[in-house]
Amino acid sequence: MSLDKTTKIEIPILARVEGEGALDLEITKGQITKCDVRIYEPPRYFEKFLEGRAPNEIIDAVARICGICPLAYQTAAAGAMEQVFGIEISQWAKDARLLMMLGQWIQSEYLHIHLLATPDFLGYRSGIEMAKDYPNEVLRGVRLQHLGNDIMKLFGGRSVHPNGVKLGGFWHSPKESAVKAFIPRLEAALKDAEDVIKFVSGLTFPDTTIPFTQVSLRHPTEYPVIADHIVTSDGLEFHVNDYDKHFREFHAPQSTALHSTTLDGRPILLGPLSRINLNFDRLPKHIQDMANATGVQFPSKNMFHSVIARAVGSYWALERALQLCHAYTYTDTPSAPEKVCAGDAWFAVEAPRGVQIDHFTFNAEGKATNIRISAPTSQNLPCIEANLRIALEKFGLDRPDHEIQLHAEMVIRNYDPCISCSSHFLTLNVTRK
Amino acid sequence: MSAHDKLLGLAARPKVAVHKFSSCDGCQLAFINDAVSLLELSTLVDIVHFAEAGPLDEFAEVDLAIIEGSVNTKHDIHRLEMIREKAKYVLCIGACAITGGIQALRNYQDEKGLLSWQEGVYPQRTDVIIAEDLPTAKPISAYVPVDFEIPGCPITSIQLVSAVRAILFGVEPEKNVDSVCVSCKHAGITCVMVAKGEPCLGPVTANGCEALCPSLGRGCYGCFGASKYANIKALKQQFRDMGLTEQQITHKFQFINSQDAGLQGE
């Protein structure tokens, strides 16, 4: 292959990601001259059709942005609205929302580890193919995934578009017996989760360093799921209300997803790797020891270590869920009284893929007049593009197109991109000049 | 032609493709979320295209194309026509594919209104969006013939596996004609509308969720679309009698399945 002419590689559709997208790669004289992740997931205009809607309709609607992390949208929207209206939710509701969010983490992270990510590391085209040679590992992943789904069902009736969260708290309080029934399952799951950490530690990771600003939520006492502070690897820590003072959201023409960067245009990295890097001190000592035993030193700047970050973060999630189930009591007031007023507020949660942050403005009748919903995948897009440039140059641009394609896909899948969210699939076009 | 006659020619081990149009991916999760069923299904059929799970061959000749999502862009009309041409049967899954879904709320915007949405969300390069956007989000059946449908937002794994099993047996997937109220009665759930004054779309909504929302103490909001004998007029009157404003009532009906023919009426 000559390096001084234009060549085209096409990945018609990026597989094992959620949503529709494509990658345009142009290589001129052995250098990447264009690297555009094109999101062509059709716009659905949630921010617009929800204007004028009642708060509880908004909570039911935002779930439909994404079937994989519906609860992150619901929790952030409910949280923002409660702040606007001055509704103080009970500790019971806070714990229940955390438990349900942990269920979503567990579901989504183990799905990604087993069906979407590890097939890349082990040389399979899909989790279905991998299951033939690794039946026990895949079934272990499925068990953990189901456990996460079932925790979500406790409060929401179903794991995709759950119906539990309302303005002020929840529609109902599950019976104590139903929650306590999860204790033995969670205890058994910890052994599985420990085995998953060992399993992913044994994978071979390409050596790629990405120098980008990492961003995560920061909780005053524990690993962040629902929190009001943002922390960055640049040493900044600030309240979510100041999001726009540090980051900028813009529309890139190749995409129906909005992109985010720092104000001076640098990519930002959200997700499990940033979370563990910036919150290692918030993990209990024994989980830190488990993370250190993987052979990876956190903080890590190698995005391929995301799979280990997912496995460790999910172990913590299972342990925290177990504590919450032990402490759970039934309440006959699962919701604080609803009220509305004019105002605006920010609210953020850690979706499995990273910080999901909303800003809502309401009028005095409690109707939304302006809505901003920033999905983690959108915010990650400039970082995905920049990471691809570094990873592919390191991998070797003179390699055959199909190898470049596979490596590019593997880089992108580290982000577990959720493209329905970010615009709500990926074709790779490589041009060599 | 009956479904039985139609399905006579189906291969013993059919080729199946799963396609996504505009959607949240939640209905495909009925496969992926229940990975045991997905692995089992992979022993019964050849899954030749299912991007989210891995296999890729978008325009392969297949026996059954399973389609999620609505059609909102010009590109998608073309893609859908290609998929239909290569598929013996088309099975639509979920509200988006069957009625246009929640994003069909754009259909209430005139050209100017939609432009203001496009400019509002994509201020810098609205032109790129306008070049592809259709004025409406429509169901699959608005563009190509559809053989079978599974309603829901989202559909459930049981619905999906039952439907695929039924098709493999050469019969039409079962259609649920009852309303959500029937499940409430079976499960002994106290009527949330009567007892708690919660407005509930259960009386006009197709069953399939086992009265999920009423079981949580809240009103149904119509995920599964209209039930067969839905009396829209009577329920709207009930809502008026409960003190809901006309706008609140409109919002109830214009939500997940706003374009569903069975939900229209005074």
* Range of A35-44, A335-344, A372-381, B171-180 with top mean pLDDT: A335-344
Task: Report the C-alpha gap between B30 and A161 in whole angstroms.
Answer: 12
Q: Is residue B40 exposed (0-12), middle (13-18) or buried (19+ Cβ within 10 Å)?
A: exposed
Phi/psi of residue B153, each to 5°? -140, 80
Contact residues, chain B, for A251 at CB < 8 Å: 122-125
Contact residues, chain A, for B124 at CB < 8 Å: 250-251, 253
**A95 contacts A127 by C-beta, under 8 angstroms:** no
Q: Which residues contact A385 (CB under 8 A, 6 or more apart)?
A: A35, A36, A37, A267
Contact residues, chain A, for B25 at CB < 8 Å: 18-19, 66-68, 420
Choose the weakest-confidence range: A26-30, A152-156, A182-186: A26-30
Contact residues, chain A, for B133 at CB < 8 Å: 42-43
Task: Report the C-alpha gap between A333 and A307 in whole angstroms.
Answer: 40
A61 or B38, which is more confident?
A: A61
CATH class of B3-168: alpha beta
Confidence of residue B41 (pLDDT cuts 50, 70, 90): confident
Q: Which amino acid makes up residue A243?
A: Y
Alpha-carbon distances, residue A282 vs A191, A225, A274, B4, B63 (angstroms): 22, 12, 13, 60, 52
Considering the entire predicted model, what is its pTM? 0.94
B125, A253: Cβ pair inside 8 Å? yes
The shortest C-alpha distance from A126 to chain B (Å) reads 5
In B, minimum Cα distance to A47 occurs at B121
3-state secondary structure chain A: CCCCCCCEEEECCCCCCECCEEEEEEEECCEEEEEEEEECCCCCCHHHHCCCCCHHHHHHHHHHHCCCCHHHHHHHHHHHHHHHHCCCCCHHHHHHHHHHHHHHHHHHHHHHHHHHHHHHHHCCCCHHHHHHHCHHHHHHHHHHHHHHHHHHHHHHCCCCCCCCEECCEECCCCCHHHHHCHHHHHHHHHHHHHHHHHHHHCCCCCCCCCCCEEEEEECCCCCCCECCEEEECCCCEEEHHHHHHHEEEEECCCCCCEEEEECCCCEEECCHHHHHHHHHHHCCHHHHHHHHCCCCCCCCCCHHHHHHHHHHHHHHHHHHHHHHHHHCCCCCCCECCCCCCCEEEEEEEEECCEEEEEEEEECCCCCEEEEEEECHHHHHHHHHHHHHHHHHHHHCCCCCHHHHHHHHHHHHHHCCCEHHHHCCCCCEEEEEC
A3: number of Cβ within 10 Å: 14
- Judge whether B256 is closer than 8 Å to chain A, CB to CB: yes
Averaged pLDDT, A180-204: 98
B75, A40: Cβ pair inside 8 Å? yes
Residue A134: both structure tokens together: 């690794």
pLDDT at A305: 97
Does ipTM come in above 0.90?
yes
Show which of residues 115-134 on chain B sit within 8 Å of chain A, judged by CB atoms. 117-118, 120-125, 128-129, 132-133
Contact residues, chain A, for B22 at CB < 8 Å: 41-42, 44
- Judge whether A141 is closer than 8 Å to chain B, CB to CB: yes
Share of chain A above pLDDT 90, in %: 70
Averaged pLDDT, B63-88: 95
Task: Report the C-alpha gap between A35 and A26 in whole angstroms.
Answer: 7
Residue from the list B105, B120, B212 with its beta carbon closest to the beta carbon of A158: B212
In B, minimum Cα distance to A53 occurs at B251
Task: Report the C-alpha gap between A87 and A59 in whole angstroms.
Answer: 15
**pLDDT higher than threshold 80 for residue A9:** no
> Going edge to edge, which strands form the sheet with B62-68?
B46-50, B15-20, B62-68, B87-93, B148-150
Contact residues, chain A, for B53 at CB < 8 Å: 15-16, 115, 126-128
Averaged pLDDT, A115-136: 88
Residue from the list A16, A127, A160 with its beta carbon closest to the beta carbon of B33: A160
Alpha-carbon distances, residue A275 vs A197, A211, B98, B198 (angstroms): 17, 16, 39, 41
pLDDT at A235: 96
Q: Which amino acid makes up residue A361?
A: T
**B96 contacts B152 by C-beta, under 8 angstroms:** no
Contact residues, chain B, for A161 at CB < 8 Å: 26, 153-154, 223
Confidence of residue A313 (pLDDT cuts 50, 70, 90): very high
pLDDT at B2: 72
A64, B256: Cβ pair inside 8 Å? yes
CA B12 to centroid of chain Cα atoms: 28
Contact residues, chain A, for B131 at CB < 8 Å: none
Mutate to test the interface with B, among A36, A40, A44 (most CBs of B within 10 A): A44
**pLDDT higher than threshold 50 for residue A426:** no
**pLDDT higher than threshold 50 for residue A3:** no
- Judge whether B39 is closer than 8 Å to chain A, CB to CB: yes
Alpha-carbon distances, residue B253 vs A229, B193, B194 (angstroms): 39, 16, 20
Angle of helix A285-292 relative to helix A306-327, nearest 10 degrees, comes to 160
The residue extents of the domains of chain A are: 46-379
Task: Report the C-alpha gap between B145 and B85 in whole angstroms.
Answer: 10
**B21 contacts B80 by C-beta, under 8 angstroms:** yes
Show which of residues 89-108 on chain B sit within 8 Å of chain A, judged by CB atoms. 101-103, 105-106
Residue ranges matching CATH 3.40.50.700 in chain B = 3-168
Show which of residues 26-85 on chain A sit within 8 Å of chain B, judged by CB atoms. 40-45, 47-49, 53-54, 57, 60-61, 63-68, 70
- Judge whether A16 is closer than 8 Å to chain B, CB to CB: yes
Q: Nearest to residue A378, comparing CAs of A406, A351, A410?
A: A351
Share of chain A above pLDDT 70, in %: 91
**A274 contacts A296 by C-beta, under 8 angstroms:** no
pLDDT at A8: 55
3-state secondary structure chain B: CCHHHHHHHCCCCCEEEEEECECCCCCCHHHHCCHHHHHHHHHHCEEEEECCCCCCCCCCCEEEEEEECEEEEHHHHHHHHHHHHHEEEEEEEHHHHHHCCHHHHHHHCCHHHHHHHHHHHCCCCHHHHHHHEEEEEECHHHCCCCCEEECCCCCCHHHHHHHHHHHHCCCCCCCCCCEHHHHHHHHCCCCHHHHHCCCCCHHHEECCCCCHHHHCCCCCCCCCCECCCCCHHHHHHHHHHCCCCHHHHHHHHCCCCCCCHHHCCC
A286: number of Cβ within 10 Å: 10
A43, B47: Cβ pair inside 8 Å? no
Residue from the list B32, B72, B137 with its beta carbon closest to the beta carbon of A111: B32
Task: Report the C-alpha gap between A56 and A67 in whole angstroms.
Answer: 18
Show which of residues 393-412 on chain A sit within 8 Å of chain B, judged by CB atoms. none
**pLDDT higher than threshold 70 for residue A425:** no
- Interval A344-362: pLDDT, tens: 999 999 999 999 999 999 9
CA torsion A70→A375→A108→A326, rounded to 10°? -70
**pLDDT higher than threshold 90 for residue A412:** no
Pick the CATH number of A46-379 from 3.40.50.300, 1.10.645.10, 2.40.50.180, 3.40.50.720: 1.10.645.10
A115, B32: Cβ pair inside 8 Å? yes
The shortest C-alpha distance from A76 to chain B (Å) reads 18
Residue from the list A41, A138, A160 with its beta carbon closest to the beta carbon of B154: A160
Task: Report the C-alpha gap between A173 and A169 in whole angstroms.
Answer: 10
- Interval B171-224: pLDDT, tens: 888 888 899 999 999 999 999 999 999 999 999 999 999 999 999 999 999 999
Show which of residues 166-195 on chain A sit within 8 Å of chain B, judged by CB atoms. 166, 171-172
Task: Report the C-alpha gap between A368 and A279 in whole angstroms.
Answer: 34
Task: Report the C-alpha gap between A114 and A239 in whole angstroms.
Answer: 35
In A, minimum Cα distance to B117 occurs at A48
Q: Nearest to residue B70, comparing CAs of B155, B1, B166, B134?
A: B134
Widest distance between CA atoms in chain A: 72
Confidence of residue B123 (pLDDT cuts 50, 70, 90): confident
Contact residues, chain A, for B159 at CB < 8 Å: none
Angle of helix B35-44 relative to helix B157-168, nearest 10 degrees, comes to 10
Residue-wise over A176-202: b if at least 16 C-beta within 10 A, else e? eeebeebeebbeebeebbeebbebbbe
Task: Report the C-alpha gap between B82 and A311 in whole angstroms.
Answer: 41
* Cβ-based contacts under 8 A for chains A and B: 184
**pLDDT higher than threshold 70 for residue A422:** no
Confidence of residue A1 (pLDDT cuts 50, 70, 90): very low
Task: Report the C-alpha gap between A231 and A239 in whole angstroms.
Answer: 9
- Interval B228-253: pLDDT, tens: 999 999 999 999 999 999 999 999 99
Task: Report the C-alpha gap between A269 and A273 in whole angstroms.
Answer: 9
Show which of residues 292-311 on chain A sit within 8 Å of chain B, judged by CB atoms. none
Pairing verdict, β A213-218 and A229-232:
antiparallel
Residue from the list A57, A141, A171 with its beta carbon closest to the beta carbon of B217: A171
